Amino acid sequence: MMLTAAVPSSSQKIDAGYDVPGIAQSVDLVNLMTYSLHGSWNDYVHHQSGLYPYYKDTGRNRELNIANYAKEHKLAGMMVWTVDYDDFHGYCHDRSFDLIKTMAETFGASTTCNL
Protein backbone atom coordinates (compact mmCIF):
# COMPACT_ATOMS: atom_id res chain seq x y z
CA MET A 1 0.00 0.00 0.00
CA MET A 2 1.14 3.53 -0.76
CA LEU A 3 0.18 6.64 1.13
CA THR A 4 -0.06 9.74 -1.07
CA ALA A 5 -1.06 13.37 -0.56
CA ALA A 6 -2.41 15.94 -2.99
CA VAL A 7 -1.33 19.42 -1.96
CA PRO A 8 -1.64 22.89 -3.50
CA SER A 9 1.26 24.24 -5.50
CA SER A 10 0.76 27.86 -4.42
CA SER A 11 3.38 28.96 -1.90
CA GLN A 12 0.76 31.17 -0.23
CA LYS A 13 -1.48 28.15 0.47
CA ILE A 14 1.44 25.96 1.51
CA ASP A 15 2.88 28.57 3.89
CA ALA A 16 -0.56 29.11 5.45
CA GLY A 17 -1.07 25.57 6.60
CA TYR A 18 1.24 22.80 5.42
CA ASP A 19 4.21 21.23 7.17
CA VAL A 20 6.01 20.25 3.98
CA PRO A 21 8.94 18.40 5.62
CA GLY A 22 6.53 16.53 7.90
CA ILE A 23 4.27 15.52 5.03
CA ALA A 24 7.23 14.45 2.89
CA GLN A 25 8.49 12.13 5.66
CA SER A 26 5.06 10.57 6.13
CA VAL A 27 3.95 9.80 2.57
CA ASP A 28 5.27 7.83 -0.38
CA LEU A 29 4.27 10.36 -3.03
CA VAL A 30 3.25 14.02 -3.02
CA ASN A 31 1.11 15.28 -5.92
CA LEU A 32 1.11 19.01 -6.51
CA MET A 33 -2.30 20.23 -7.66
CA THR A 34 -1.49 22.52 -10.55
CA TYR A 35 -4.91 22.70 -12.15
CA SER A 36 -5.81 26.06 -10.65
CA LEU A 37 -2.74 28.25 -11.01
CA HIS A 38 -4.84 30.77 -12.93
CA GLY A 39 -8.54 31.55 -12.86
CA SER A 40 -11.26 34.17 -12.45
CA TRP A 41 -9.01 36.24 -10.18
CA ASN A 42 -6.79 37.08 -13.18
CA ASP A 43 -7.75 40.01 -15.43
CA TYR A 44 -7.07 37.93 -18.56
CA VAL A 45 -7.92 34.42 -19.71
CA HIS A 46 -5.55 31.58 -20.52
CA HIS A 47 -4.97 27.97 -19.48
CA GLN A 48 -5.28 27.37 -15.73
CA SER A 49 -1.93 25.54 -15.57
CA GLY A 50 0.08 26.24 -18.69
CA LEU A 51 3.44 24.83 -19.63
CA TYR A 52 4.88 28.28 -20.26
CA PRO A 53 4.28 31.79 -18.89
CA TYR A 54 1.52 33.68 -20.69
CA TYR A 55 2.72 36.89 -22.36
CA LYS A 56 0.55 38.96 -19.98
CA ASP A 57 1.94 37.25 -16.86
CA THR A 58 3.94 39.56 -14.62
CA GLY A 59 5.68 39.18 -11.26
CA ARG A 60 4.95 35.90 -9.49
CA ASN A 61 2.43 34.91 -12.17
CA ARG A 62 5.38 34.31 -14.53
CA GLU A 63 6.42 31.45 -12.21
CA LEU A 64 2.99 29.79 -12.25
CA ASN A 65 3.52 27.33 -15.06
CA ILE A 66 4.14 23.65 -14.79
CA ALA A 67 7.41 23.17 -16.66
CA ASN A 68 9.29 25.95 -14.89
CA TYR A 69 7.86 24.98 -11.49
CA ALA A 70 8.85 21.33 -11.86
CA LYS A 71 12.37 22.18 -12.98
CA GLU A 72 13.06 24.91 -10.42
CA HIS A 73 11.86 22.74 -7.53
CA LYS A 74 13.80 19.70 -8.77
CA LEU A 75 10.70 17.51 -8.87
CA ALA A 76 11.00 13.90 -9.99
CA GLY A 77 8.65 14.34 -12.94
CA MET A 78 5.37 15.63 -14.30
CA MET A 79 2.06 13.85 -14.85
CA VAL A 80 -0.77 14.60 -17.24
CA TRP A 81 -4.22 13.00 -17.25
CA THR A 82 -4.02 12.20 -20.93
CA VAL A 83 -1.62 12.85 -23.78
CA ASP A 84 -4.33 12.93 -26.43
CA TYR A 85 -4.69 16.66 -25.75
CA ASP A 86 -1.15 17.24 -26.98
CA ASP A 87 -0.66 19.31 -30.12
CA PHE A 88 0.39 16.40 -32.34
CA HIS A 89 0.44 18.46 -35.53
CA GLY A 90 1.95 21.72 -34.23
CA TYR A 91 -1.18 23.83 -34.78
CA CYS A 92 -0.80 25.82 -31.55
CA HIS A 93 2.99 26.07 -31.38
CA ASP A 94 5.81 25.90 -33.85
CA ARG A 95 6.42 22.19 -33.23
CA SER A 96 4.43 19.00 -32.98
CA PHE A 97 4.08 17.07 -29.72
CA ASP A 98 4.79 20.21 -27.70
CA LEU A 99 3.43 18.83 -24.40
CA ILE A 100 5.42 15.60 -24.52
CA LYS A 101 8.60 17.29 -25.78
CA THR A 102 8.41 20.05 -23.14
CA MET A 103 8.09 17.51 -20.34
CA ALA A 104 11.02 15.50 -21.71
CA GLU A 105 13.22 18.59 -22.15
CA THR A 106 12.37 19.88 -18.68
CA PHE A 107 13.87 16.77 -17.16
CA GLY A 108 16.78 16.40 -19.57
CA ALA A 109 15.46 13.51 -21.63
CA SER A 110 16.15 13.18 -25.33
CA THR A 111 13.42 14.26 -27.75
CA THR A 112 15.01 12.81 -30.86
CA CYS A 113 12.71 9.78 -31.06
CA ASN A 114 10.89 10.61 -34.30
CA LEU A 115 7.99 12.43 -32.64
Q: Using CA of residue 68, residue 110, residue 47, residue 35, what is the dihedral sign? A: negative
Average pLDDT rounded to a whole number, residues 47-75: 77
The whole-number average pLDDT for the span 29-56 is 76
**Does residue 17 have a pLDDT over 80?**
yes
Tell me the residue length of the chain.
115
Kindly report whether the global pTM for this prediction surpasses the value 0.75.
no
- pLDDT of amino acid 112: 58
- Across residues 23-48, what is the average pLDDT? 79
The model's pLDDT over 81-93, given as tens digits with 9 standing for 90+, comes to: 677 777 778 777 7
* Cβ partners under 8 Å of residue 88, min gap 6: 96, 97
Res 26: pLDDT: 94
Alpha-carbon distance 74 to 83, whole Å?
A: 23
How many other CB atoms are there within 10 angstroms of residue 69's CB atom? 18
Q: What pLDDT shows up at residue 104?
A: 81
* 29 part of a folded domain: yes
Say what the pLDDT of residue 25 is.
92
Domain of residue 45, residue span: 4-79
Tally of structural domains, the chain:
1
For residue 72, the model assigns a pLDDT of 79
